[in-house]
Chain A
Amino acid sequence: MSNNGFEPRIIGFLCNWCTYSAADTAGVSRMEQPPNVDIIRVMCSGRVDPVFILKAFAEGADGVIVSGCHPPGDCHYDSGNYKTFRRMPLVEALLAQYGIEKERFHWGWISGAEAPEWAKLVREFTAQVHALGPLDWKRELESKED
């Protein structure tokens, strides 16, 4: 990958029971994936407060992933992922108004049995964010301020 040596910094909020488990399996199975995603394990994707996502971008993330258990039925807490799918479309709308490209934010579902899916997402999402270049929110705003 070229883009002046830019390596995207991506924050992934993964639910403990499904996607984190998938990411763990992908790792121990040595599935090929770039090392750009910093994973933060949360107990449930419904635990992801929108402020986590905004703070990630504000403090330098180039992309953010939120991933949990497939609805309906897969959620360890029965309906935590319902909270996720009620909340995330609004986060998407918010980010669009802030001028953050939609390719920098991904939310969805990967079960514990879908490790290859996780590795694929990491590959594709990293490439996608890489193509956009750095977001670098704070410096971006300061350098263009007057």
Chain B
Amino acid sequence: MADKLKLGLYWAASCGGCDIAILELREKILDLDAAADILFWPVAMDFKYKDVEAMPDGHIDVCLFNGAIRTAENEEMAHLLRQKSQVLVAFGSCAHEGCIPGLGNLFDRKSIFERVYLTSPSVDNPDGVLPQTSYQMPEGEVDIPYFYNTVKTLGQVEDVDYFVPGCPPQAPQIWAVIEAILGGNLPPKGSVVGATDKTVCDECEHKREEKCIKKFYRPHEIIPDSEACLFDQGIICAGPATRGGCGALCPSVDMPCRGCYGPPPNVIDQGAALLSAVASVVDADTEEEAARIVGEIVDPVGTFYRFGLPASLLHRRKLEEAE
């Protein structure tokens, strides 16, 4: 095939799960290999950044970019891959919405460094050494990327053509996106692809009834009934505030939806939507009782914005005075 699709894949601030998700295509990976030339894929193949820099602009047909923007390196690669790619896809929850790395936005560089390099019980760092962006070695000066205060989504630093949600995106959805790309059958720019326009509840088999909740449980505090809606049982499930497309994987094994596919269409702020859903099921007729029941929810931001804090309306915790 003379004009095979030229594909690039990159990981920024991510766990590597999105790359594994591509391998979850299993035997279809051979179809992908037949249809596409992979020009760049750091997790699997030996390419250097200079190889990408040497490409003409727009040389890569499609770049699947996973991971959030945590460091200057992440951002530099976002700009470089935008320049070298005709279609830039924010692939997976981190690039789409910030995901778990985005919960770092409840802290800042200083407090993260203190925790990670100084106060964490497993750390032995008697000299209190913290990462320096530049350091003089006998062999010369070495640089490491600057660590930002705030985690950003790919869409907040670069122009993105498509968004594929999920932590990680599910293999059948990935394949559907690849088929759409190969067939030239792409939706309007800026679309969320590889997902549905309904919520996870729409795909969930659990049976819903009237919700009257006197107490919320965390998943480890209760053995749920496999038939009834998890939310009805007092387990906070992000299903009502989360875009479908995963096939309701977590609820199908009695784990509550955690919200990784992001907000459904027309929801501005996933956390606010989930907060509303949670509050509306509370069975309390007095202010005191309501405050007690919802007061037991540990870490509301981490629960309601588990995958989307950087993409939310407020983006992050207010920063303390500048360093």
**Chain A residues near B (Cβ < 8 Å):** 49-51, 54-55, 57-58, 71-72, 82-83, 85-87, 89-91, 93-94, 97-100, 137, 140-141, 143-146
B290 lies within 8 A of A85 (CB): yes
* Nearest CB in chain B to that of A52: its residue: B272
Interface residues of B in 225-281 (CB under 8 A from A): 268-269, 271-273, 275-276, 278-280
Judging by beta carbons under 8 Å apart, are B290 and A89 in contact?
yes
What A residues does B299 contact at CB under 8 A?
97
| Cβ A55 vs Cβ B279 within 8 A | no
Number of A-B contacts (CB under 8 A): 99
Q: Mark B295-323, 1 if CB is under 8 A from A, else 0.
A: 10101110010000000111111110110
The interface residues of chain A lying within 8 Å CB-to-CB of B282 are 86
Number of interface residues of B (CB under 8 A): 39
The answer to whether A144 and B149 touch across the interface, beta carbons within 8 angstroms, is yes
Contact between chains at A85 and B314 (CB < 8 Å) = no
Whether A140 pairs with B318 at a CB distance below 8 angstroms is: yes
Contact A144 B294 (CB under 8 A): no
List the B side residues contacting A71 at CB < 8 Å.
286-287
- Using CB atoms, name the residue of chain A closest to B322: A144
Inter-chain contact A141/B150, CB cutoff 8 Å = yes
Please determine whether B318 and A90 come into contact, CB atoms closer than 8 angstroms: no
What separation, in Å, do the CA atoms of A49 and B150 have in the docked complex?
Answer: 27
User: What CA separation (Å) do A85 and B286 show in the bound complex?
Assistant: 8
| B148: Cβ under 8 A from any A Cβ | yes
The yes or no answer to B106 lying at the interface (CB within 8 A) is yes
Minimum CB–CB distance for A58 against chain B, Å: 4
Taken together as a complex, chains A and B put the C-alpha atoms of A88 and B149 apart, in Å, by 29
**A50 CA to B285 CA, complexed, in Å:** 20
Contact of B284 among A50, A86, A93, A99 (CB under 8 A): A86
Q: Determine if B291 is an interface residue (Cβ-Cβ < 8 Å).
A: yes
Chain A residues, CB < 8 A from B321: 144
Chain A residues near B287 (CB-CB < 8 A): 71, 85
Compute how far the CA of A55 lies from the CA of B268 in the bound complex, rounded to whole angstroms.
9
17 A-B contacts (beta carbon < 8 Å): A50-B275, A51-B313, A54-B313, A55-B313, A72-B285, A82-B290, A86-B279, A90-B275, A91-B275, A93-B295, A94-B271, A94-B275, A99-B319, A141-B150, A145-B148, A145-B150, A145-B319
Taking CB as reference atom, which chain B residue is nearest A56? B313
A97 touches B318 (CB 8 A): no
Q: How far is the CA of A145 from the CA of B276 in the complex (A)?
A: 31
